[in-house]
Structure 1
Amino acid sequence: MRAALYIDCDSIEAKAVPVIYEDIIRTDKLVICKMFNSDKDDDSFMESAGRFRIQDCMHGEYKVSSAMVALAVEVMADAALSKPERIYIATGDSLTVPLLNKLRLTDIEVVVAGPCDADKILVNSAQRYMYIDVLAGEKCTADIPDIGDIAKEIYSVSSYYKGQGRDAVMEQVYEGVVRRYPDFDVRNYGYTHLDTFVENNVSGVKVYTDENGVTKLTLVDDREEIDTFAYEYMTGRGYKIDDMAELLDAIRSRFPGFAMENYGYHTDYGFILSFSKFEIWENKGIKMKRTFKLSESGE
């Protein structure tokens, strides 16, 4: 993918430059590289940054000016004229937030590479946020999303595509999660591949590769397990509860990402009535049908 890199030298340490650069060129072709520094001691910064092979870029250059203003002007100009497919901005300064908001009006993906202690407003304004500390192989000190929340979101995205009649491509799952959690990166949790992360942390889904070599996620048919759990739950509650929401909440807690739509139901009533042993009472409660209650007592 054709990409552009803009480095705010006022908020990014020189030693981070080669780390960011090397990570980008693993997947993208850098056609624009620009650095912005309010400090006139540009030779010192370049030496500390290791000059990071900036000559490898098609239009590499080093710019010295009022950093933030110049950066914003150059990014918008290049977005309009050079039209890179992806823009990387290395910064820890939340003053770039208005620029990030403007870039959302374009069809260019924007990735911010910044420190772990960056303001959350910067992290959440990015389409994707990479922690420089993690790129450097160091432990991230940021308040990253809980792994359980990520697992639920992955299941939810997979459920959406299942509802559309197809399995989710892993790339679609990643994009869906990042829309909600811009700083999601499996490396934040000690993994190197998303499929490994999913296999170890997300229940109710299965990773597979189709005949075209595309990695996809499919939902595991766990209806039988849900039925067993629901019947055991009701038995433990004396065969009757006053509000069906109690059982639904218990199912959601036991099966992260549970959505009744995956089983063809769009109302609580319809889903509850799909259990052969249950009936609804007083319009919103659930009780075990007498036949099943007696048979289980006999056992």
Structure 2
Amino acid sequence: MDQNESKMQIAVLIDSENVSSRYASIIFNEIETYGFATYRRIYGNWTKNNGWSENILLENSITPIQQFNYTSGKNSSDMTMVIDAMDILYSGNVDGFCLVTSDSDFTRLAMRLREANMYVIGMGESKTPAALTKACNKFIHLNLIFEASVTLSESQTAELHEDFSSDRSVKANAVTPIADIEEAIISVINDNENKGKLTYMGEIGSRLNSKFTDFDVRNYGYTKLLTFIQDKCAKLELVKENSSYYVKVREINNVSEMQKEVTDLIEKSGGSVDNLSVIYDCLKKKHPDFDLKDYGYSRLSSFLRSMGNISVRGNAVTLKDAAKQKTRKKTKQ
């Protein structure tokens, strides 16, 4: 009883002209995380086919609100939905609103509801303008959640993998960049270190949700924050403590130290190493945690060139001074 009383009463208002009916079940599944859908209303011109069938409305207990198109080219739902939202606000029956739309015209409504101390959840597709996503306390990208919920068979996965990945990468441009998320986590870790505290996964999730209104690991193709950090945040390291995990900034090996080691190896090899794998094996032996991604590189050759005194041609590695001397000898001959 106490648990139910603590959950929010939410008014769910859907703009049928800007949101597909395929998201119906997702909308209310997501709302259950935040509270109860006290009001379930959908707005549109029901004299036209908008994809929201009678069966879908009945299955989800949604009340349709008719609004005729008085002006061509204008969303008929806008004004009616705004008026209803304000009526519900002044009734005092709810703690929050869920505005289901990709239309930036509702940005001011979201801001006004927040000014009235309402918790505002936005739901729409990744095409939703940033103004609306940031005006909400939380914004959920329905198309990305929908894709994450679709289970493909192995044969389908092989056939559709390329198209799916390409589509997701394009839509991912509309969500918070992973680099920004990683830097935000590092900031939290540094703050906690100054206070002598460790940074556990629960706090990371909470802080990310507070900072980024649209943050959801499902936007990036993951179901768990832990796996997302493991795969996508190269600067971070997860440490298991009993049954919990805390996050720390990965200790990166000193580049100047590795530069000296590579230089020594080349000199001991007569001024040239003919195979990059020899250098890689040497670095891995001395630094088991060595990973090129930690330094912002995907190729060993690029990493070695960044050291300044090392030259890489094909698979051969030499010191730049030695390379110059060889060139001079050939010129004299």
The TM-score, its normalising length taken from structure 1, stands at 0.62
Q: How does 1:61-80 map to 2 (within 5 A)?
A: 61-65=63-67, 66-80=76-90
Aligned mates of 1:43, 1:28 — CA distance in 2: 31
CA distance in 1, matches of 2:259, 2:220: 37
Q: Deviations over 1:81-118 (max 9, x none)?
A: 1132x432110110011112223324433221111222
**Is the helix fraction higher in 1 or 2?**
2
- Give the match's secondary structure for 1:30: strand
Runs (5+) with no aligned partner, structure 1 = 237-252, 257-299
* Range with greater deviation from structure 2 (9-18 or 133-142): 133-142
Tell which deviates more after alignment, 46-55 or 13-22: 46-55
**1:49–1:178 CA distance, 2 compared to 1 (3 A):** farther
The equivalences for 1:45-194 within 5 A come to: 45-47=51-53, 50-51=56-57, 53-55=59-61, 61-65=63-67, 66-80=76-90, 81-84=92-95, 86-137=96-147, 139-140=167-168, 141-142=170-171, 143=173, 144-168=175-199, 170-194=201-225
| Larger of the two Rg values belongs to structure | 2
**Post-superposition shift, 1:25?**
3.1
TM-score by length of 2: 0.56
For 2:193 and 2:58, locate their aligned partners in 1 and report how far apart those are by CA, in whole Å. Answer: 45
Structure 2 unmatched ranges of 5 or more:
1-6, 68-75, 149-166, 262-292, 297-333
**C-alpha deviations, 1:47-87, integer Å up to 9, x for none?**
167126333xxxx5332235222222333443451132x43
How do residues 156-235 of structure 1 correspond to structure 2 at under 5 angstroms?
156-168=187-199, 170-202=201-233, 203-206=235-238, 217-219=246-248, 225=251, 229=254, 232=257
Question: Which of structures 1 and 2 has the larger relative contact order (alpha carbons within 8 angstroms, sep 6+)?
Answer: 1
Q: Which residue of 2 aligns with 1:270?
A: none
In 1, the alpha carbon distance for the partners of 2:260 and 2:140 equals: 48
CA-to-aligned-CA distance 1:245-282 (integer Å, 9 cap, x gap): xxxxxxxx9689xxxxxxxxxxxxxxxxxxxxxxxxxx
Structure 2 SS opposite 1:130: strand
1:172 positional shift: 3.8
Distance verdict in 2 for CA 1:72–1:184, change over 3 Å: same
User: How far is the alpha carbon of 1:205 from its aligned partner?
Assistant: 4.2
Q: What SS does structure 2 have at the residue aligned with 1:116?
A: coil
For the residues of structure 2 that align with 1:232 and 1:130, how far apart are their CA atoms?
Answer: 46
* Structure 1 position 17 matched with structure 2 position 24: yes
Report how far residue 186 of structure 1 moved: 0.8
Question: How far off is 1:194 after superposition?
Answer: 1.3
Percent of residue pairs bearing the same amino acid type: 19
Pair 1:30-2:40 in alignment = no
Structure 1 residues 209 and 102: CA distance shift in structure 2, 3 A: farther
Among 43, 47, 56, the alignment partner of 1:41 is: 47
